[in-house]
Amino acid sequence: MIKKVRFLGSNLDPETYKRFYNITLKSLNNLRGYTKHFRQRVRQKKLPLSLCESIAQGRFKVIEVNISNYKADRDVRVIIKSDNSYRGYNLLLVISLNDKIIVTGWKNSITDKHATLKKELYANA
């Protein structure tokens, strides 16, 4: 069994991208909570949580879709990036679509061009 499959959001066909976008938006507006790890990241990395409201209103991009199989469970997670920035940073969040929780988050400089992205890890790169 394949343990993990990753897809770049920018390479998804428009219909699939829109489907993941809509499912993510629905999950964001019906969150059950967030992990302890996310709470720690907020404190340690001083995440720009002021961007959460705009994300919840749908101002984000789906960056990655990650389907993981662990034993009998399958978890579909998306990485989203805020459309807006705060002090030169975008907020990125990992959302579990199955559990409707924020798994983790980080901030990225708006000038980051992802030069070190390993495209061979993605099924649709």
What are the extents of the domains in the chain? 4-112
- Whole-prediction pTM: 0.92
In this predicted model, what pLDDT tens digit does every residue of 2-43 receive, in sequence order? 689 999 999 999 999 999 999 999 999 999 999 999 999 988
What's the whole-number mean pLDDT along residues 99-114?
92
Query: For 67-104, what is each residue's pLDDT tens digit?
Result: 998 777 889 999 999 999 999 999 999 999 999 999 99
Helix or strand (DSSP H, E) at 38? helix 36-45
> 106-114: long-range contacts (C-beta < 8 A, 24 or more apart)?
106/41, 106/45, 106/47, 107/45, 107/47, 107/48, 108/81, 110/85
